[in-house]
A and B are shown apart, each in its own frame.
Chain A
């Protein structure tokens, strides 16, 4: 009798757990929350209709080469989670037919707070951002009409889109919204720095010294908590910018030549290569640039004049790097919510 009761309880427990298991899937759905200390986002995916299934659909698209010509290149090929969704393996990424782009693939996180996208800020909305890499000849080389046609002809996608949008025909708008939901749900705000700011962890002497120097020299542009102020600056990489005029490419203004968007420094330890063309391999090289490598030109940022650079000792540079590494968010890098699902 006692045994029967135990068996019954065991069976009950099994059935409860089995009943729960679909709920466990929500562990892979991050939803969207504004982290402590962050401003309100520019784009809140929940306000544009994101659901768990919509998020999963966007994630599937992100990892699927169906978005490219010949189904060979996915978003992930140039935006890898272990590299904070930057490239990590190439200064310049290669797309269809092994062609190389002109710019370094930027990391993908905290995009919900970004007022514009790309190194030149030419794209004004996260929902239309993917149109650029999908249609760029050297990136994914597809047409929007081509992608939509392939999605509609696919075995799986029509049912998945129908579940999310309630329609039978997949449109580019639905594809782009799904991608935007996934992309803006990628959030990194759990670095040692964040725990330090919350009083949960302490900095060592190097990190503290780096924090102080950072506040004096870097924070005007790399402004906490996002570690960018989204401005466009010429940080003295070159004397001329003939091959890539940066911001001027979209504004047509001479005063914008050589200016590029200030990148976030969160996860910089993981997201190298550095600069718009990926010219630096290491944070040490970046420090050396700001110390003694700045090149003068008409649009050089006033904070970097005189162009001799910052008077940084070797210790200063090591302290700054120690601080920058406190912005590394290993929980974000390993977050299963962003992993590819089969």
Chain B
């Protein structure tokens, strides 16, 4: 009798250990996304560095900030993995923000990445937000509710004012500034599992903000854009072209 109950307890214990270890998902891992900002073939920095776009405008940036949201890692045959509460403010004045860490990513082989430039409409109509979406981040239009998705400011002698300021947003209507980005990893898939490097490098070419495939932005013609319009929508088309997949580390 005593032996039987001892065996029973041992069985119960081992079962509980088995089930607990199963629910831990030991394979899951954190993934790091590195955003490498370029201007054409040069490295990109704010302040005291001058770049030239295709229109011949000389550009010195004092501000570059933008939202990346709704990040999803894609995989063949399946939904992929989506980050919850996925709102990131990339601010070039703060180097740490150019690295995005995705926590507890499901172990799998991923073929690409998808994300939104901007803040989805739901969060534009839901009242006071916090974290990356805190209006204290100065990426919020107070007089006409909505987030600024990308803010680029700086100096350019070709501009009539000597400077440029582009605040692009708009979460609804034909000229909305929301842009979905989908990047294919090709043969260099991201194999997420504990023990791997789990790192994805994306390049961000700021020159494309000016020199897109369908629209050319020149500080001599447009030096200030802060309303939602066909122009802001064209600039959004351009920023959608800034992002490219570079390489993964497994």
Which residues of A are interface residues toward B (Cβ below 8 A)? 48, 118, 122-128, 131-132, 135-136, 143-145, 148, 171-173, 176-177, 180, 249-250, 252
Q: Are B129 and A131 in contact, with the CB atoms below 8 A?
A: no
Contacts A122-B143, A128-B142, A131-B142 given; does A145 touch B127 at CB 8 Å = no
Residue ID in chain A nearest B124 by CB atoms: A124
Chain B residue numbers with a CB within 8 Å of A136 are 142-143
The 8 Å CB contact of A127, one of B128, B140, B143, is B128
Closest A residue to B130 by beta carbon equals A173
Instruction: Check B144 against A173 for contact (C-beta < 8 Å).
Output: no
Distance to closest chain B CB from A134 (angstroms): 8
22 A-B contacts, Cβ less than 8 Å apart?
A118-B143, A122-B144, A122-B145, A123-B144, A125-B126, A125-B127, A127-B127, A128-B135, A128-B140, A128-B142, A135-B142, A136-B142, A145-B136, A148-B136, A171-B130, A171-B134, A172-B134, A176-B127, A176-B135, A177-B127, A177-B128, A249-B144
The answer to the question of B228 belonging to the interface, with a C-beta cut-off of 8 Å to chain A, is yes
Residue in B124, B126, B143, B229 whose beta carbon sits within 8 Å of that of A252 in the complex: B229
**A177 vs B134: C-alpha distance when bound (angstroms):** 13
Residues of B within 8 A of A177 (CB): 127-128
Closest A residue to B175 by CB, please name it.
Answer: A252
Chain B contact residues, CB within 8 Å of chain A: 124-130, 134-136, 138, 140, 142-145, 227-229
B130 close to A172 (CB less than 8 A): yes
Chain B residue contacts of A125, Cβ below 8 A: 125-128, 145
Contact between chains at B227 and A124 (CB < 8 Å): no
Q: In the bound complex, do residue A126 and residue B142 qualify as a contact, i.e. CB atoms below 8 Å apart?
A: no
User: How many Å from the CB of B124 to the closest CB on chain A?
Assistant: 8
Pair A132/B135 contact, Cβ less than 8 Å: no
A172 and B227 CA atoms in complex are apart in Å by: 25
Report B-chain residues with C-beta under 8 Å of the C-beta of A250.
143-144
Are A126's CB and B130's CB within 8 A? no
13 further A-B contacts with Cβ under 8 Å, apart from A172-B134, A180-B128, are A48-B127, A123-B142, A123-B144, A124-B125, A125-B126, A131-B140, A136-B142, A143-B138, A145-B136, A148-B136, A171-B134, A172-B128, A172-B135
Chain B residues lying within 8 Å of A145, measured Cβ to Cβ, are 136, 138
Which residues on the B side are within 8 Å of A172 (C-beta)? 128, 130, 134-136
- Distance between B147 CB and nearest chain A CB, rounded to angstroms: 11
Q: Residue on A with the closest CB to B145?
A: A124
* CB of A271, distance to nearest CB on chain B (Å): 22
Expressed in whole angstroms, the minimum distance between the Cβ of B87 and any Cβ of chain A is 13
Q: Is the CB of A123 within 8 A of B145?
A: yes
A86→B129 CA distance, assembly (Å): 28
In the complex, what residues of B have CB within 8 A of residue A132's CB? Answer: 142-143
Interface pairs A-B: 7 shortest CB-CB: A127-B127, A176-B128, A127-B128, A173-B130, A145-B136, A144-B136, A122-B144
In Å, the complex CA distance between A136 and B144 comes to: 13
- CA of A172 to CA of B132, assembled, Å: 12
Contact between A128 and B128, CB atoms less than 8 A apart: yes
What's the minimum C-beta distance from A141 to chain B, rounded to whole angstroms? Answer: 13
Q: How far is the CB of B137 from chain A (nearest CB, A)?
A: 8
